[in-house]
Amino acid sequence: MNQLTETKIITLPKFEDTRGNLSFIEEERHIPFKIERTYWIYDVPGGQMRGGHAFKEQREFIIALSGSFDVVVDDGTHKQLFSLNRSYYGLYIPCGLWRQMENFSTNSLAFVLSSTKFVESDYIRDYEKFLKYREEYEKQRI
Ligand code: TYD
């Protein structure tokens, strides 16, 4: 059991109405962290990927507010693909995992809630370094 098994789709409240639907998120209630920052990714040209890094501390919750895309989450040994295509659920990703976003549909909008402010030193952008980081992490757990 490691952070990959804690990675999960969380279904959000959804109020269906003839006027349209409404969903919402409360920090530490629907998602397991306090929200320090939000950002969004949009106008992604066909075939492009985003992400392709890991965070040492940052935890995230990613929603496809519009359109669809896939998130591949990787613990250095196993990879799991999550398809996001509804605005009433999202993917919770703990820290310490490599994650890549791909297969963006036209006009998709990825909305990300983050547990930390933007800190470049929290990123691991090199996959080889990530594998070393995972090795150290697994050693410390023994
Ligand atoms: P990056 O996290 O590398 O994008 P992605 O994971 O989607 O591929 O961020 C791209 C650029 O934007 C990078 O130069 C850092 C900057 N950035 C901020 O300044 N603040 C932020 O909150 C985020 C997410 C990125």
Q: What is the CATH number of the domain that holds 21?
A: 2.60.120.10
Which residue range is the domain that position 53 belongs to? 3-141
- Which has more pLDDT, 137 or 20? 20
Give the pLDDT confidence of 46-68 residue by residue, as tens digits.
999 999 999 999 999 999 999 99
* Ligand 1 pocket, residue 51 CB under 6 Å: yes
- Give all strands (DSSP E) within the chain, no chain letters: 8-11, 14-15, 22-23, 37-41, 50-55, 60-66, 69-74, 79-84, 89-93, 98-102, 109-114, 123-124
* Ligand 1 pocket, residue 79 CB under 6 Å: no
Write down the mean pLDDT value for the chain: 97
Confidence bin at 17 (pLDDT 50/70/90)? very high
Q: Which atom of ligand 1 is nearest to the CA of 49?
A: 8
* Ligand 1 pocket, residue 39 CB under 6 Å: yes
How many domains, in total, are found in the chain?
1
Model confidence, pTM:
0.96
